[in-house]
Amino acid sequence: MTSKNAETILIIEDNVSLRDMTREYFEVHGFLVQVASNGQEGLVAMQHSRPDLIVLDVMMPGMNGLEFLTIFRTTHQIPVILLTARDAEADKIHGLELGADDYVTKPFSLAELLARARAHLRRQTQPVAVTWLQCGAFDLDVLARTLRVQGRPVDLTRSEFDLIHLLMRHPYRVFSRLELLEGLREEAQGVERTIDVHIRNLRVKIEEQPRQPRWLETVYGVGYRFSPDREA
């Protein structure tokens, strides 16, 4: 059984029986699981959701795991565990150089894969002094408190900077207005609609068409979401 706060794993594997077996194992242990059969399907899946960790096979038809990783690492820092063949040392080395966080050799123990996944997820939740964030066209220098969008510097108020900082730390997550207000820790007299004003002002500064926002999406009835890879 999974909870609504369960962590999400994306399994990219072309072997149907292995993929299903791995999916079921993670689901039994409380994870939400998405699957894709090659790198191209994995990239499509990333356009619609943001998993907490990816289990990635290397040898697949179409776009293989290393090709996926090359594209994926230009915009994402989500942990990736490679599934490699026993004698494919070159793939392991190349994968780690491309940004994979770990690898497991086939045939593998599902218990070991689960333990490795949990270890990487624990590291993700530990506080880290992040001083620079890069998401798609957005570059944010936390210490200098500056933002560039497509290389263009954007002048922000304190609240606007804190808001985009919070959203960039959790791309694709939907925040309620109350969550964003609490995240800002500002003395806003508890008025959730204050967030609407900040979002509107941010859109004017960062969006090409503020009335048809590309990156700062409204999720009707819920709140807002930052989608750095959304097409114009």
Of the two residues 161 and 91, the one the predictor is more confident about is: 161
Q: Place 188 in a pLDDT band, splitting at 50, 70 and 90.
A: very low
**Nearest residue to 2 via CA among 52, 42, 39, 45:** 52
pLDDT at position 232, please?
Answer: 64
What is the sign, positive or negative, of the torsion defined by CA atoms of 23, 29, 31, 32? positive
HSE on the CB side for 191, CA within 13 Å? 8
Residue 158 CB contacts under 8 Å (≥ 6 apart), including other chains: none
CA 29 and chain centroid, separation:
21
Could you give the CA distance from residue 194 to residue 85 in angstroms, rounded to a whole number?
A: 54
pLDDT tens-digit readout, 97-130: 888 888 888 889 999 999 999 988 887 766 656 7
pLDDT at residue 141 above 50? yes
* Other beta carbons less than 10 A from residue 164's beta carbon: 26
Q: Are 75 and 46 in contact (CB under 8 A)?
A: no
On whether the pTM is more than 0.75, the answer is: no
Task: Write the CA distances from 225 to 45, 49, 90, integer angstroms.
Answer: 17, 11, 39
pLDDT tens-digit readout, 162-177: 999 999 988 888 888 8
Query: Taking each helix axis from N to C terminus, what angle separates 89-98 and 65-72, rounded to the nearest 10 degrees?
Result: 10
Helix, strand, or coil (residue 93): helix
**Nearest residue to 14 via CA among 44, 35, 43, 45:** 35
Note the residue count of the chain.
Answer: 232
Burial of 12 (0-12, 13-18, 19+ CB in 10 A): buried
